[in-house]
Amino acid sequence: MKKTLLGTIVAGLILFVWQFVSWSGANLHSSQLSYTPLESDLLECLTSHKLPEGEYLIPNKPPEMSMTEYQELFNSKYLGRPWARIQYHHSFENSMGMNMFRGLIIDLLSAFLLCIVLLGDPTLDFKKVMITSLTVGIIAYLTIPYLNSIWFKSNSLPDLLDAIVPWTLIGLILGKILPNKQ
């Protein structure tokens, strides 16, 4: 239990610190959050049309339209034309403290789950810890950020770095903490 607790705290803090460095310190994700000088006009347009809060893919199939009808419309009207993916909220909240707290809890939970998986192996050694830790990071990258980058044509390189760097560091540290010394 002592190894699980120590591994959870250390790995969770590595994730938390890396996320700060990645998003704020090194600003690796700047290409995913670009500025446009048209922001006021765009927000005014969305607000004036009373767009409900949500996520939108534009163009998209109206609920009442059949898929066959939409495919015909898409091919004749939208193919080769501009499109957008929008996340729209009515109010920008400054909830940094709560967001950081929730992020820390998720990081600790992720680290705890990794420790549980690793400590279930009675033959655990440094190499297994490294491979498993890095595998967890790569699976997380491939199944969400990379898959989204395929469909929505976005840059996922910062997310790949977020998968490799901290999970490698975690593997290095947990590889020293978790295995039973023979």
Condensed to tens digits (0 to 9), the pLDDT of residues 92-151 reads 888 889 999 999 999 999 999 999 999 999 999 999 999 999 999 999 999 999 999 999
Q: Which domain holds residue 21?
A: 2-34+95-177
Identify the band that residue 31 occupies on the pLDDT scale cut at 50, 70 and 90: confident
* Cα–Cα nearest to 86, from 47, 114, 125, 115: 47
pTM of the model: 0.83
Does residue 26 belong to any structural domain of this protein?
yes
Q: Is residue 142 part of a domain?
A: yes
Report pLDDT for 93: 85
Instruction: Report yes or no on 47 lying in a domain.
Output: no
Q: Is 81 inside a domain boundary?
A: no
Phi-psi region of 50 (alpha: psi -120 to 50; beta: other; left: phi over 0): left
First to last CA, the chain: 19
Asked whether residue 45 is assigned to any structural domain, the reply reads no
**What is the rounded distance in angstroms from the CA atom of residue 155 to the CA atom of residue 28?**
11
Instruction: Tell whether 53 is covered by a domain.
Output: no
- pLDDT greater than 60 at residue 18: yes
72 belongs to a structural domain? no
Task: Please tell me the predicted confidence (pLDDT) of residue 95.
Answer: 84
Does residue 108 lie in a domain region? yes
Residue 180 has pLDDT above 90, yes or no: no
pLDDT of 162 strictly over 60: yes
- pLDDT at 87 (0 to 100): 92
Q: Considering only CA atoms, which of 84, 76, 77, 101 is closest in space to residue 16?
A: 101
Looking at the 3D structure of the chain, how many domains does it have?
1
Question: What are 75-93's pLDDT values in tens digits?
Answer: 999 999 999 999 999 998 8
pLDDT of residue 121: 93
